[in-house]
C-alpha cells in the first residue's frame, strides 16, 4: 500500500479477520502499509486505483512531508464530502431518480440498505462507483487522526507551521465526525462498539474546539480554520440541541465567510459528482415540489432534453455547471440560519425572524412573520431548504432531525413508477458487521 501526494490520497485494503464489531478497515499510514503488488493474507482490495506522485511507505515518518500529509487529509475529506453531499441530495426530497440503474435508483428512491455494495465499499471514482459513503468517510476520519498523531510527534523545529497544520487536520477531520453523526443510524470507530450518532457529534465538537485553539495559537494565516471550525461547532451543537452553544458559535462567523471543497477535472476521482451524475448522466431530476418553489436561491432549470430515461424531462440545478465546480463546505449563510434557529428554540422569536428577514430583504423577498416558536422554527427550516439547497447534506439532516416525511414508503416515484423504500438514516453496512 502506498500514498498519493495530491488529490484523494490513500490506497486501501480491507481484512477479514479483525477483532471487534467494526470490520471494514480504513487502513492508512499507521498500519500495515504495503507497496503495490504485495500480498496481505486474507485481505482484499476495496480501493485499488493508481495515481502518479506516490510517497514510499518508509518515508511517511519523514517530517519534511508534513505539509503533504496535512493536504492529504483535506483531499480525503473533500473526496468523502463529494459523495456525501450528492448522495444525501438524491436520498432527500430535493431530487427524484430518473434512471433504471439499480445502484443509482436505490439512492433516489430510499432503497439503500445495509447490503448495498455501492454505498458500503465504493470509493470516489466515477468510473467505479456512485455514492460510496462508508469507506471514503471513515478513510477521511482515520487519516485525520493518523496524521494528527504524526504531527504531534514532531517538533516545531522539524516542521514549519506545525501547529497550523495540526489545526487544519483537526478541523477537516471534525467534519467527517459531523457527517457521520448527522445522517448515520449508528457509528463505531476503530474496532469499538456500536454507538448512537450523538457520540460522533460529541467527538466533532471536541475536535472543532481543538482546531480553534490550535489555529488561534498558530496565528496569522489560520483564520479560515477558525471560521470553518466555528461553523462546524454551530452545526454539531444544533444537531445535539445545545442551543446556547449553537448560538454562541454561529455568532462568531464573520460576514461573507465561505469555504469551498475543491473539485477538478484531472481525473474522475475529483469530479463534482452532482454535476456528473445528475446533469451529465441525467440520473436524477429536480423533484416536482421544488419546481413549484419560486425563490432565487434554489437555482434550477429544464434542459429541454431527456434524462437518463429519455422519456423524462431533465431538470437540473444550476449551482454546478462543470465537473470542476467546487462545493460549499462551510459558510456565513449556514451560520446565520443556525443562529436564527438557536434563537427561536430559546424563545427569541423576534431575533430569529430578524435574521431571516434581513436575508430576504437582500434578495428582494417579502418578510415572513411568526407569532410563536413553532412557526418561527418552521420558517427557518423552509429558508434552509432554499438557501442551502443541493449542497452539504443539509436538507437530509433537516428531514431526519425534524422528522419531516418525504418519499413516503409504499408510494411511488412519479417519474419511474417504482415504490419508495423505507430507508431514513444511512445503515451500518452488512460487510462492516460481518467482516467482509
Secondary structure class of 26 (helix, strand, coil):
coil
pLDDT at 433: 83
**Phi, psi (5° rounding) for residue 327?**
-125, 135
pLDDT at 48: 35
How far apart CA 177 and CA 181 sit, in angstroms, is 6
Nearest-CA neighbor of 14 among 145, 132, 179? 132
pLDDT at 432: 86
> For domain 63-88+101-280+322-421, is the CATH number 2.40.50.100?
no
Cell numbers for 254, please give them.
Answer: 464573520
| pLDDT (tens place) for every residue of the chain, 436 residues total | 333 333 333 333 222 222 223 335 444 433 322 222 222 222 333 333 333 345 677 778 899 999 999 999 999 999 999 999 999 999 999 999 999 998 899 999 999 999 999 999 999 999 989 999 999 999 999 999 999 999 999 999 999 999 999 999 999 999 999 999 999 999 999 889 999 999 999 999 999 999 999 999 999 999 999 999 999 999 999 999 999 999 999 999 999 999 999 999 999 999 999 999 999 999 999 999 999 999 999 999 999 999 999 999 999 999 999 999 999 999 999 999 999 999 999 999 999 999 999 999 999 999 999 999 999 999 999 999 999 999 999 999 999 999 999 999 999 999 999 999 999 999 999 988 876 5
Burial of 113 from C-beta contacts in 10 A (0-12 / 13-18 / 19+): middle
pLDDT at 281: 97
Dihedral sign from CA coordinates of 138, 142, 148, 150: negative
Residue 392 and residue 334 in contact, taking contact as beta carbons nearer than 8 Å? yes
Nearest-CA neighbor of 341 among 204, 231, 246? 246
How far apart CA 278 and CA 300 sit, in angstroms, is 12
Give the Å distances, CA to CA, from 89 to 8, 112, 203, 379: 22, 13, 25, 21
Q: Where are the beta strands (DSSP E) in 90-131?
A: 95-97
DSSP-assigned letters across all residues of 396-412: HHHHHHTT---S-TTSB
Indicate the pTM of the whole model.
0.89
Nearest-CA neighbor of 261 among 253, 270, 250? 270
How far apart CA 8 and CA 110 sit, in angstroms, is 28
Cell numbers for 396, please give them.
Answer: 437530509
Amino acid at each position: 500500500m502506498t500514498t498519493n501526494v495530491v488529490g484523494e490520497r490513500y490506497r486501501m485494503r480491507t481484512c477479514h479477520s479483525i477483532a471487534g464489531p467494526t470490520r471494514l478497515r480504513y487502513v492508512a499510514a499507521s498500519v500495515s502499509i504495503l507497496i503495490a503488488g504485495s500480498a496481505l493474507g486474507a485481505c482484499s482490495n476495496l480501493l485499488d486505483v493508481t495515481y502518479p506522485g506516490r510517497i514510499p511507505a518508509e518515508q511517511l515518518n519523514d517530517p519534511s512531508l508534513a505539509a503533504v500529509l496535512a493536504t492529504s487529509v483535506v483531499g480525503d475529506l473533500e473526496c468523502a464530502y463529494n459523495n456525501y453531499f450528492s448522495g444525501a441530495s438524491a436520498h432527500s426530497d430535493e431530487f427524484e431518480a430518473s434512471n433504471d440503474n439499480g445502484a443509482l435508483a436505490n439512492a433516489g428512491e430510499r432503497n439503500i440498505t445495509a447490503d448495498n455494495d455501492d454505498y458500503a465499499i465504493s470509493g470516489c471514482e466515477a468510473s467505479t462507483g456512485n455514492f460510496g459513503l462508508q469507506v471514503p468517510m471513515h478513510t477521511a476520519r482515520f487519516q485525520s487522526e493518523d496524521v494528527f498523531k504524526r504531527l504531534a510527534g514532531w517538533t516545531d523545529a522539524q516542521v514549519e507551521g506545525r501547529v497550523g497544520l495540526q489545526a487544519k487536520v483537526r478541523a477537516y477531520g471534525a467534519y467527517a465526525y459531523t457527517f457521520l453523526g448527522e445522517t448515520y443510524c449508528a457509528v463505531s470507530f476503530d474496532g469499538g462498539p456500536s454507538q448512537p450518532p450523538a457520540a460522533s457529534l460529541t467527538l466533532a465538537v471536541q475536535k472543532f474546539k481543538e482546531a480553534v485553539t490550535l489555529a488561534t495559537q498558530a496565528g496569522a494565516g489560520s483564520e479560515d480554520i477558525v471560521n470553518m471550525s466555528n461553523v462546524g461547532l454551530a452545526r454539531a451543537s444544533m444537531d445535539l440541541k445545545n442551543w446556547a452553544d449553537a448560538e454562541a458559535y454561529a455568532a462568531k462567523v464573520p460576514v461573507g465567510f465561505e469555504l469551498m471543497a475543491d473539485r477538478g477535472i484531472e481525473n474522475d476521482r475529483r469530479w463534482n459528482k452532482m454535476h456528473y451524475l445528475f446533469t451529465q448522466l441525467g440520473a436524477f431530476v429536480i423533484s416536482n415540489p421544488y419546481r413549484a418553489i419560486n425563490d432565487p436561491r434554489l437555482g434550477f432549470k429544464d434542459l429541454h432534453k431527456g434524462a437518463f430515461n429519455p422519456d423524462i424531462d431533465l431538470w437540473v440545478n444550476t449551482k454546478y455547471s462543470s465537473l470542476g465546480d467546487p462545493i460549499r463546505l462551510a459558510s456565513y449563510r449556514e451560520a446565520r440560519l443556525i443562529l436564527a434557529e438557536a434563537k427561536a428554540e430559546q424563545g427569541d422569536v423576534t431575533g430569529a425572524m430578524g435574521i431571516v428577514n434581513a436575508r430576504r430583504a437582500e434578495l428582494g423577498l417579502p418578510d415572513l412573520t411568526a407569532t410563536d416558536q413553532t412557526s418561527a422554527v418552521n420558517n427557518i427550516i423552509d429558508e434552509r431548504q432554499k438557501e442551502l439547497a443541493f449542497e452539504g447534506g443539509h436538507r437530509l439532516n433537516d428531514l431526519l432531525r425534524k422528522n419531516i416525511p418525504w418519499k413516503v414508503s409504499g408510494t411511488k416515484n412519479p417519474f419511474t413508477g417504482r415504490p419508495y423504500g423505507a430507508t431514513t438514516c444511512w445503515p451500518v453496512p452488512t460487510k462492516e458487521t460481518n467482516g467482509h
